[in-house]
Structure 1
């Protein structure tokens, strides 16, 4: 199997999870999401890992869900499609549940599932030139599987500005919307990531892990019930004519029926 997720661990115990499907702008395929979940669960069990960085190879952080994979889902029965589309939800849950701090290194663009990846990070740092957006509704779909994490990150009031309209926004607005912690010049991104890593390395690893667990509980932890609710919402949306028409229009390179 082709490796779409690469893991590097340095001598300090800093692990980097690399999205490595750069020829497809790191669009999330089924295999890629399975590998991401497996890699996150391995790191969660590694007591020598103190900080995890989520980064991407190539020009784009993540273009969202792979549309060829989405098109394949149209031919599946409803139960299989629900199980298949849930892959991103389980991958995000594995990242969300990491006991170590998770730092996002975003460059290029982040759409759909890429916004979900940013949302599970404890600290998300972005290059100033990036574009972000929850683009699902343009395709007749909804940002459901990523929804619990996006809304937890942004808060309901800010999410209302971008959750339903597929509008693209820049790094500065992403900071205002609370999707990014900071935006820096692209040439300064690695330095900003290192600056975010360094304080954790002076702290007791067990205390950091327990502090993160306590924070999750106090802020209102995302539960499996929330995740299942989101998975069911997307499964129902897949059954609509809008979903079929939106995916077909994309591959036919024509406007969707509702496009103004």
Structure 2
């Protein structure tokens, strides 16, 4: 993505439903959209959807000029989690085959986690199981007030394993234990209370308005600084202060003398816009 993007970058065709699994679009300003397009199946995951999402997220990892990535589902539902037919087939597979399937999901989520730009889940309708995990793997999530969530795996006699690193990072161990163990359905207000959701909006129109506001805000941020800030959090989380003091000092020093850091400070002092806003 070395040039501004106006057309879809990824189109993966669902031959069974004669529709696309995932759309990847971006504006010339670098606002990217990853949309699951299985609305008839409530954007449920199967092997093909997971592969398409993985491809889209890996594309965005190496893309130049992307400032923010929005992840959403088509048709008013974020994602219902695992597709029932896919789960039925998995029940007939060996443990080794199921491990391979699970690794594809794990790699897809990690490819989302590793995107340098800010990632934002736009949740409406439902986010269940792996769908809730997908939202947790984003840097932040905005949900409509009527959205519902559940880590429902235990009700099927299985566990929320591949999504657990991202959910625990988002909501903490105690909340994760309670929600994983009960499989209860909870609303957007509870999702915000435990940290799974960053903001609640009234409806789909307000979700679009929030998305536009975030996109505008991200244009003011140095793209390299955004990526380094995300990595900083991952590297210092849950480590004693004494272990990270020297490293954090090195990182801010490096940022201050970097091309982007020099430009940002000079622009502030000269009361002008930095180059990434020009």
Q: What TM-score comes out, normalization by structure 1 length? A: 0.82
Aligned to 1:171: 188
Q: Which runs of 5+ in 2 are unaligned?
A: 1-12, 15-19, 240-278
Whole-angstrom distance in 2 between the partners of 1:85 and 1:98: 21
What stretches of structure 1 move > 6 A for 4+ residues in a row? none
User: Larger C-alpha radius of gyration, 1 or 2?
Assistant: 2
Whole-angstrom distance in 1 between the partners of 2:128 and 2:81: 5
> By how many angstroms is 1:220 displaced?
5.3
Task: Write the deviation string for residues 157-189 of structure 1: whole angstroms up to 9, x where unpaired.
Answer: 222331111100101011001100011101311
Whole-angstrom distance in 2 between the partners of 1:109 and 1:74: 25
> By how many angstroms is 1:70 displaced?
1.3
Matched, 1:190 2:208: yes
Q: Which runs of 5+ in 1 are unaligned?
A: 222-260
Aligned to 1:44: 61
Matched, 1:115 2:132: yes
Between 1 and 2, higher relative CO (CA 8 Å, sep ≥ 6) is seen in 1
CA contact (8 A) 2:153 2:180 kept: no
Q: How many residues align?
A: 221
> By how many angstroms is 1:196 displaced?
2.1
Whole-angstrom distance in 1 between the partners of 2:126 and 2:43: 10
Task: Write the deviation string for residues 99-121 of structure 1: whole angstroms up to 9, x where unpaired.
Answer: 11001100011100011011011
SS in 2 for 1:164: helix
Supply the RMSD in Å over aligned alpha carbons: 1.3
SS in 2 for 1:180: coil
Matched, 1:142 2:159: yes
